């Protein structure tokens, strides 16, 4: 049965009209789940009983169970959510001063196969629905003090967001609309390994979310090894579409680079990055690797990170080294899912 947040507001209005209900009911119904935290249709007391019964017959209100909730000393909280079909996804709340950023997943697993990532180890099971994407936001919102709101969203968890654009965009519409969670598109970032046709679709849609392209390597030869999907795409095509997105949206591009000891952290790699990105008005986020159990990759030494950073800065790159948050709670994407047994629900007789 579909999630109550799967249909767009227009689709819900159509569903209501087919049952002789006024369109304003769509706003009321959504308010109950987005802001009033209704746990059941029964609680939506300002809706007619017949409508509540019809909703219950056609939709599900909450489809996830919290399989695990971990909290780190730095305030980072991570949820492992079990979906109705048993699939599991991860989402994270990061606290930094007044910022309350959430990182959400877009798919169950991932097909991109980045060799250092736990999420892609078993491939992709399926796309998340729009309702499942929004439900992550609501589950994380519930971890925040009641008088505070989420401030930023990064779609950087499990999965390749641009491979699930048809469900992601309606979910982000709910996140950014005033009747929804009211988070400005300027504070929403979509992270991608770089799928040019999907970047073009984003450009053509005229949405103004931030785009973060995960590079992880400064040349195709190394990137083909670290991000196998690159073999069919290539850096030039990705950068060309990213540049178009920047021109059309005015949103400064971000590039992500996970720094792996002895693999992509050499001085020549930093120099190649300067050549690759030098002329762009962009931010380069360098993230020292969070080790994943069973994978042969390590965090670079402080010295290697410092040298890498110096070369980038001397080359005029606007670079930011991101702190690794939540190390103690398996915060690297995909790790919690692999280390936690599934939730078993015993049905009441
Ligand atoms: S790093 Fe991101 S794109 Fe790459 S396999 Fe992991 S989830 Fe997929």
Q: Is 90 a catalytic residue?
A: yes
Which pLDDT belongs to residue 92? 95
Q: Is 91 a catalytic residue?
A: no
Atom of ligand 1 minimally distant from the CA of 113? 5
CA 257, 101, 244, 278 dihedral sign is: negative
Kindly state the tokens that stand for 298: 């390590």
Ligand 1 neighbour 213 (Cβ under 6 A) = no
Helices 24-34, 9-17: inter-axial angle, 10-degree rounding: 130
C-alpha dist (Å) from residue 258 to 130, 193, 261, 264? 28, 12, 10, 8
Which pLDDT belongs to residue 326? 55
Which pLDDT belongs to residue 345? 46
- Mean pLDDT across the chain: 91
Ligand 1 neighbour 333 (Cβ under 6 A) = yes
CA neighbor of 164 nearest in space, from 125, 137, 136? 125
Task: Give the number of other Cβ atoms within 10 Å of residue 185's Cβ.
Answer: 18
Ligand 1 neighbour 112 (Cβ under 6 A) = yes
Contact 91, 347 (CB under 8 A): no
Mean pLDDT of 70-87: 94
List, for residues 14-73, the tens digit of each pLDDT value. 999 999 999 999 999 999 999 998 999 999 999 999 999 999 999 999 999 999 999 998
Ligand 1 neighbour 63 (Cβ under 6 A) = no
Task: Give the number of other Cβ atoms within 10 Å of residue 349's Cβ.
Answer: 3
List, for residues 142-171, the tens digit of each pLDDT value. 999 988 999 999 999 999 999 999 999 999
Tell whether the model's pLDDT for residue 349 goes beyond 50. Answer: no
Give residue 333 CA to ligand 1 midpoint distance, Å.
Answer: 8
Tell whether the model's pLDDT for residue 331 goes beyond 80. Answer: no
Q: Which of 138-142, 177-181, 250-254, 344-348 has the lowest mean pLDDT?
A: 344-348
Q: What proportion of the chain, given as a percentage, has pLDDT over 70?
A: 92
CA neighbor of 217 nearest in space, from 274, 257, 160? 257
Residue of 21, 77, 90, 132 with catalytic role: 90
Ligand 1 neighbour 119 (Cβ under 6 A) = yes
């Amino acid at each position: 049965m579909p999630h109550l947040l799967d249909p767009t507001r227009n689709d819900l209005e159509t569903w209501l009209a087919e049952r002789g209900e006024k369109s304003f009911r769509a706003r009321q119904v959504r308010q109950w789940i987005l802001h009033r935290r209704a746990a059941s249709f029964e609680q939506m007391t300002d809706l007619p009983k017949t409508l509540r019964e019809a909703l219950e017959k056609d939709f599900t209100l909450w489809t996830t169970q919290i399989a695990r909730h971990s909290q780190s000393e730095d305030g980072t909280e991570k949820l492992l959510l079990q979906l109705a079909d048993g699939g599991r996804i991860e989402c994270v709340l990061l606290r930094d001063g007044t910022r309350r950023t959430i990182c959400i997943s877009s798919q169950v697993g991932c097909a991109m196969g980045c060799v250092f990532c736990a999420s892609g180890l078993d491939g992709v099971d399926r796309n998340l629905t729009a309702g499942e994407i929004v439900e992550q936001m609501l589950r994380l919102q519930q971890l925040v003090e009641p008088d505070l709101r989420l401030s930023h969203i990064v779609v950087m968890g499990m999965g390749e967001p641009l491979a699930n654009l048809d469900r992601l965009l309606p979910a982000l519409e709910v996140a950014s609309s005033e009747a929804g969670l009211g988070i400005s598109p300027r504070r929403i970032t979509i992270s991608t390994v770089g799928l040019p046709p999907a970047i073009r679709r984003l450009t053509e849609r005229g949405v103004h979310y931030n785009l973060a392209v995960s590079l992880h390597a400064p040349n195709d030869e190394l990137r083909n090894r670290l991000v196998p999907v690159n073999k069919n795409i290539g850096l030039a095509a990705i950068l060309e579409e990213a540049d178009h997105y920047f021109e059309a949206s005015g949103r400064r591009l971000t590039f992500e680079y996970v720094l792996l000891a002895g693999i992509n952290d050499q001085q020549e790699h930093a120099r190649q990055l300067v050549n690759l990105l030098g002329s762009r008005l962009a931010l380069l986020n360098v993230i020292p690797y969070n080790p994943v159990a069973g994978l042969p990759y390590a965090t670079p030494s402080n010295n290697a990170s410092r040298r890498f950073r110096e070369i980038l800065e001397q080359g005029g790159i606007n670079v930011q080294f991101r702190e690794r948050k939540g190390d103690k709670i398996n915060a690297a994407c995909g790790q919690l899912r692999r280390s936690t047994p599934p939730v078993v629900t015993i049905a009441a007789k």
